[in-house]
Amino acid sequence: MTTALPEDRLWHLFEMMLLMRRFEESVVKMNVENHFTGHYHLYIGQEATGAAAIAQLEARDTITATHRNHGHVIARGAEPGPALAEIMGRAGGLSLGRGGTIHLSDPALGFLSTSGVVGGSISLGAGGAFARKMKKDGSVHMACFGDSALEEGVAYEALNISSLWKLPIVLLCENNSADAWDKSRGGYTSLVHAANDLRSIPGAMGIPSIRIDGTEVDEVHAAVAEAIAHCRSGKGPMFIEAMTRRWAGSAPLWPELSTGVTDLKMATGEAPMSGEHKAWYEENDPVLKLARRLLKTSPQAKDRMWELDRKAIARMQAAEKFAIDSPMPAPQTALEHVFA
Ligand SMILES: Cc1ncc(C[n+]2csc(CCOP(=O)(O)OP(=O)(O)O)c2C)c(N)n1
Ligand SMILES: [Mg+2]
- Give dist(CA 234, CA 138) in Å, integer: 8
Domain boundaries, the chain: 7-329
Residues 6 or more apart in contact with residue 270 via CB below 8 angstroms: none
% of the chain with per-residue pLDDT over 90: 90
Q: Which atom of ligand 1 is nearest to the CA of 119?
A: 1
Q: Which ligand has the minimum distance to the alpha carbon of residue 119?
A: 1
pLDDT tens for each residue of 6-45: 999 999 999 999 999 999 999 999 999 999 999 999 999 9
Q: Is 147 in the pocket of ligand 1 (CB under 6 A)?
A: yes
CA within 13 Å, CB half, 281: 20
121 CA to middle of ligand 1, Å? 11
pLDDT tens for each residue of 152-168: 999 999 999 999 999 99
Q: What is the pTM of this model?
A: 0.96
pLDDT tens for each residue of 37-92: 999 999 999 999 999 999 999 999 999 999 999 999 999 999 999 999 999 999 99
**Of 99, 80, 102, 81, the residue nearest 89 (C-alpha):** 99
Q: Whose CA is nearest to atom 6 of ligand 1?
A: 118
pLDDT mean across residues, the chain: 95
68 CA to middle of ligand 1, Å? 9
Q: Which ligand has the minimum distance to the alpha carbon of residue 178?
A: 2
Q: Whose CA is nearest to atom 15 of ligand 1?
A: 146
At position 74, the amino acid (one-letter code) is: I
Question: Looking at the predicted structure, is the pLDDT value of residue 180 above 80?
Answer: no
Question: Looking at the predicted structure, is the pLDDT value of residue 264 above 60?
Answer: yes
Q: Is 67 in the pocket of ligand 1 (CB under 6 A)?
A: yes
- Give dist(CA 103, CA 90) in Å, integer: 14
pLDDT tens for each residue of 95-138: 999 999 999 999 999 999 999 999 999 999 999 999 999 999 99
Under CATH, domain 7-329 is a member of which superfamily?
A: Thiamin diphosphate (ThDP)-binding fold, Pyr/PP domains (3.40.50.970)
